[in-house]
Amino acid sequence: MGQKINPLGFRLGVTQNHHSYWFAQPKNYSKLLQEDQKMRNCIENYVYKNIRNSSNYGGIARIEIKRKTDLIQVEIHTGFPALLVENRKRGIEQLKTDVQSILTSGDRKLRMTLTEVTKPYGEPNILAEYIALQLESRVAFRRTMKKAIELAKKTNIKGIKIQIAGRLNGAEIARVEWAREGRVPLQTLRAKIDYCYYPAQTIYGVLGIKIWIFQDEK
């Protein structure tokens, strides 16, 4: 069977940009990289616990971190920024406090901003969250995939592939099902392809959701 390389790492520096922008001494590099991951996990966990429910999901497309001499800037790209701002009394301030507690260098100021994604369902992370929410609510997987493809097509993408693996609809034997619409040229480097893996926790076990979205070609 053919082994698939991660489309994001394959195109890094060609059509994909880094999500962390900073330079560091070799001795500090691993520590700062771990700190970045802890900040991302903190933001995602906060959204999962305080915002995500049966009718809402966080809708975080990506988190970009920029480090300067005296400033750490965290930019959250989300399809639904109002959920973070309005859902709780303190909202973004509480989230900022939680992230600040992770930072090892207390002398650096933390700035957190929300950026709205104009076409949220054209982002694989947001689309995967939507699919996971539907599967956890026991909606049939074929119906869910069909609806997700319809939502994505409205954002003028050139192609999409959705794959779901696990005990689909509670079946005894796990299997893999997929659906594709349009072109998804995985071997073309100049093709801007966004990719996401997301697990859905259902009563029958974990379902693995993979989404490839072909945005454009340079």
Higher pLDDT, 187 or 51: 187
Lowest mean pLDDT among 4-18, 38-52, 60-74, 200-214: 38-52
Residues 77 and 135 occupy one common structural domain: no
Which residue, of 70, 85, 116, is where some domain finishes? 116
Question: Domain with 144 in it: what CATH number?
Answer: 3.30.1140.32
Asked if 6 and 211 count as a contact pair (C-beta separation under 8 A), the reply is no
Q: Is residue 1 part of a domain?
A: no
CATH number of the domain encompassing residue 13: 3.30.300.20
Are 132 and 172 in the same domain?
A: yes
Same domain, residue pair 96 and 186:
no
> 103 with 183, same domain?
no
Q: Is the pLDDT of residue 32 over 60?
A: yes
One domain, residues 60 and 143: no
pLDDT for residue 79: 83
What is the DSSP-derived secondary structure letter of residue 15?
T
Q: In the predicted model, is pLDDT for residue 87 greater than 70?
A: no
Task: Please give the Cα distance from 65 to 51 (Å, whole number).
Answer: 22
Which of the four pLDDT bands, split at 50, 70 and 90, describes residue 172?
Answer: very high
Supply the pLDDT for residue 147: 95
Lowest mean pLDDT among 86-95, 100-109, 116-125: 86-95
Mean pLDDT on 174-189: 94
Residue 189: predicted pLDDT: 92
Q: Which one of 116, 151, 177 terminates a domain?
A: 116
90 pLDDT band, cuts 50/70/90, is low
Domain limits at 202? 120-217
Q: Give percent above pLDDT 90 in the chain.
A: 63
Average pLDDT over residues 43-67: 79
Q: Stretch 132-152: mean pLDDT, rounded? A: 94
| Residues 79 and 137 grouped into a single domain | no
Is the domain of 186 the same as that of 100? no
Per-residue confidence at 1, pLDDT binned at 50, 70, 90?
Answer: low
Same domain, 27 and 96: yes
Domains in the chain, number = 2
Same domain, 146 and 182: yes
163 forms beta bridges with: 178, 210
Q: Give pLDDT, residue 52.
A: 65
Does 2 reside within a domain?
no
For every residue of 115-174, DSSP letters joined together read EE-SSGGGSHHHHHHHHHHHHHTT--HHHHHHHHHHHHHTTT-SEEEEEEEESGGG-SS-
Residue 133 has pLDDT above 60, yes or no: yes
| Pair 102, 194 in one domain | no
- Residue 48 belongs to some domain of the structure: yes
- Residue 54 pLDDT > 60, yes or no? no
User: DSSP assignment of 18-80, as one string?
Assistant: -SEE----HHHHHHHHHHHHHHHHHHHHHHHHHT-SSS----EEEEEEEE-SSEEEEEEEES-
pLDDT at 57: 64
List Cα–Cα distances, 214 to 18, 123, 156, 161, in angstroms.
18, 10, 10, 9
Among the candidates 67, 89, 116, a domain finishes at 116
pLDDT reading at 103 higher than 60 = yes
Prediction pTM value: 0.88
